[in-house]
Amino acid sequence: MKRVLLFVFLIAIAAMFVVNCGGDDDDGCEDGDFLCSNNVLHICEDGAWKVKEDCGDKTCNAATGQCETPSDNGDTGNSGDSGNTGDTGNTGNTGNTGDTGDTGDTGDTGPAGSCEDILVCMGGCSESDQSCMEECFYAGSTQGQNDYNALAECVQTNCATNNTIECYMENCPTQSEACGITGKGDENYAAPYGSVNINGDFNYIITNEQQLDQSMVIMNYFVTGNFGNAGSMAPMGAEGAFSYAAFISDPQGDIIQAVQMPFANQGQTVLNPVVFLIVPADASPGSMTVGLTIDDQSQLFFVDTDPQGNIACMHGFGIGTINVNSLNPAPGAAGNFSVNGSDIQLYSLKNAPMYGGDISGEIQYNACPPM
């Protein structure tokens, strides 16, 4: 029994941190001013934002400089915040990328125990974990096991040297369809959906910093390109972008997460889309594939975030190859991460033919509307 695809990769954004991203002559804020970011109250001291209090279940109010209960002002939102994710230094969650190892079935994929269920379950097994794959197989119904065996036999005969969805659908169409592999996606999303180039040189690795300055981030885009009919990694109205690289400790394997956030309004507004590039923290210099299968070493996602910095929807992911020029996961200025890649193809969750078509049901986030 051979694993076909890894359908699920989870990612999350949580608390935001603040950095003064003005010019060299810009104080960034006036002492005594207050700022609300993700329900955390900040105060300006010595020309820089500092965390004053996490408002928790209360509501951050920058106008009063207090954490208030709803009855205090009747306002259920951050009355002093522009409703966006804060200053251009708001880096997203530099320490929480979700469960990078949870590849189980997060949605209804067909009849219980179907061949499709078996394949999704196997997607969560490592390539060498035969017992895991067997458990997935035997957890399937009799019909599901029969459908799986029929597909496996056809694939072994016709796609032994070309283990791709395209080969399955071309040479084993009936067996593929019985296992939920149709290759049909939502035609409102082009396939591919766009393409990007990557060129980033990070000279600082964020770990648990509570306040960032410009020496820790790149005040520029490291991922450029377009998607859909109107989408761009540099959205309309953006004044620029800040990008950072963070070390994330994870039980499934430590990672480096590079994040790009466009901004406007002199850094008070973070725009969409937000881009995530994820690579293993112990990666050696050289090329690696980008994708969603268990064989791919890196992942590229582009998402929209809500005013609290949480993922509102996912536009899609990248497929291609990147080159890691250097990677030292040491914290702070001792670390670095340099990466580049060209013509990385983008695909919407709604139309990913190489993974069987519409895979939005296998991802915990909603697909963004077509651009």
**What is the DSSP secondary-structure string of 270-315?**
E-S-EEEEEEETTPPSEEEEESSSTT-SBEEEEEEE-TTS-EEEEE
Q: Can you give the pLDDT at residue 71?
A: 54
In this model, does residue 89 exceed pLDDT 90?
Answer: no
E strand segments, the chain: 18-19, 34-37, 40-45, 48-54, 59-61, 66-68, 194-202, 205-206, 211-212, 223-227, 231-232, 240-248, 255-264, 269-270, 274-280, 286-290, 299-305, 311-328, 336-348
Q: Can you give the pLDDT at residue 72?
A: 47
In this model, does residue 3 exceed pLDDT 60?
Answer: no
Q: How many CA atoms lie within 13 A of 145 on its CB side?
A: 10
Residue 316: pLDDT band (50, 70, 90) is very high
pLDDT tens profile 190-247 = 989 999 999 999 999 998 876 677 888 998 999 999 999 889 999 999 999 989 999 9
> Residue 138, by phi and psi: left (phi above 0), alpha (psi -120 to 50) or beta?
alpha
φ and ψ at 49, to 5 degrees?
A: -75, 135
On whether the CB atoms of residues 34 and 65 are closer than 8 A, the answer is yes
* 54 token code pair: 């996490």
Other beta carbons less than 10 A from residue 371's beta carbon: 17
Side chain identity at residue 315, one-letter code: H
How far is the first Cα of the chain from the last one, in angstroms, to the nearest whole number?
39
Inter-axis angle of helices 115-122 and 142-158, to 10 degrees?
Answer: 70
Q: What is the mean pLDDT of residues 332-338?
A: 96
On whether the CB atoms of residues 33 and 127 are closer than 8 A, the answer is no
